[in-house]
Amino acid sequence: MIKFLPKLLIVLLALSCNTKKSGNFALIETSYGNMKVRLYDSTPKHKANFIKLVEQKFYDGTLFHRVINNFMIQGGDPDSKNAASGQPLGSGGPGYTIDAEISKFHFKGALCAARQGDQVNPQKKSSGSQFYIVQGQPMDAAQLQMLALQKGINYTESDIKKYSTLGGTPFLDGDYTVFGEVVEGLDVIDKIAAVQGDQMNRPLSDIKMTVKLVD
């Protein structure tokens, strides 16, 4: 037993020093509950950027500044930190954009990059920090098939079933980068989306977030 002790100590020491999180998951903490999100490997630029900002504590203290029931909840504007009541928000960022990585669909719980409109952003580049989380609503197969024809999107039977049961915002598919999904805390989306907001859809009572990487 004793002759194995040095190797065992080396292994334990290595494990204790390896405190860096995998980067595959993040936890968004709010007063309405927490949402655990999985970040997609298929959107490497967005994943790396989100991880970088989380490690810098960029999001801590920012607000969910735009909330629309049955649609989505949006946050990540650095100008929202300590913003005065009624102050317009939604234009802030880290000073750069991210190339579009559009491939995933907008099912309920999708973590998506906000962006400027096509008129000024035809390449559909994403905001450097602002994101939204989809709530949406269920859509029946007929409506989804009609939308698929209009947008030139091929949905599988599994996709159609997911949209018709879980719900989402399929009308945004193909236009915004989806770079992750909520894997725990879907009910928190509903709670936040239901709060009362002003004419700009900013919640009347601030909803602050803290974001950290988790395993």
* Percent share of the chain, pLDDT over 90: 89
28-52 tens-digit pLDDT: 999 999 999 999 999 999 999 999 9
What pLDDT does residue 9 have?
43
Give kind and range of the element (H or E) at residue 202. Answer: none
207: left (phi over 0), alpha (psi -120 to 50) or beta: beta
Number of domains in the chain: 1
143-177 tens-digit pLDDT: 999 999 999 999 999 999 999 999 999 999 999 99
CATH classification of the domain holding 38: 2.40.100.10
Among candidate residues 32, 184, 174, the one with its CA nearest the CA of residue 101: 174
Answer yes or no: is 1 within a domain. no
- This prediction has a pTM of 0.90
Answer yes or no: is 141 within a domain. yes
Q: What is the DSSP letter of 4?
A: G
